[in-house]
Amino acid sequence: MLARLGADVAVPNLAMPAIAAGHAGLALLSIVAVTDAPEGGVELAAVMSAASVLQPALEDLLVALAPDLAATAQALAAEVGR
């Protein structure tokens, strides 16, 4: 739907959990790796191959972000009295 409305990037099925989290008063962090779509469409084998190559770097990124994310979550929780 978002792509049809003109969005340059649309992540299928991401909006509904984000809306639900917001309505429940929950914080949500979503990290999405955005890549260019090749002309002629995407082949599943190529996507899986690229994911295998990128997985270690994405894992390293998340591990590096974890302490800052934990500190931010604690600060936000203290702010709202949880």
Whether residue 39 is found in the same domain as residue 73: yes
User: What is the reported pLDDT for 51?
Assistant: 83
Task: At 71, list the tokens.
Answer: 């500190």
Whether residue 13 is found in the same domain as residue 44: no
Whether residue 45 is found in the same domain as residue 70: yes
Whether residue 40 is found in the same domain as residue 73: yes
pLDDT of 2 > 70? The answer is: no
Nearest partner of 33 among 17, 45, 50, 46, judged by Cα? 50
- The count of domains in the chain is 2
pTM across the whole model: 0.52
Query: Which residues span the domain enclosing 15?
Result: 1-32
In this prediction, residues 54-60 reach a mean pLDDT of: 90
Whether residue 44 is found in the same domain as residue 69: yes
Percent of the chain clearing pLDDT 90 (strictly above): 18
User: What is the reported pLDDT for 23?
Assistant: 93
pLDDT of 10 > 80? The answer is: no
Whether residue 40 is found in the same domain as residue 74: yes
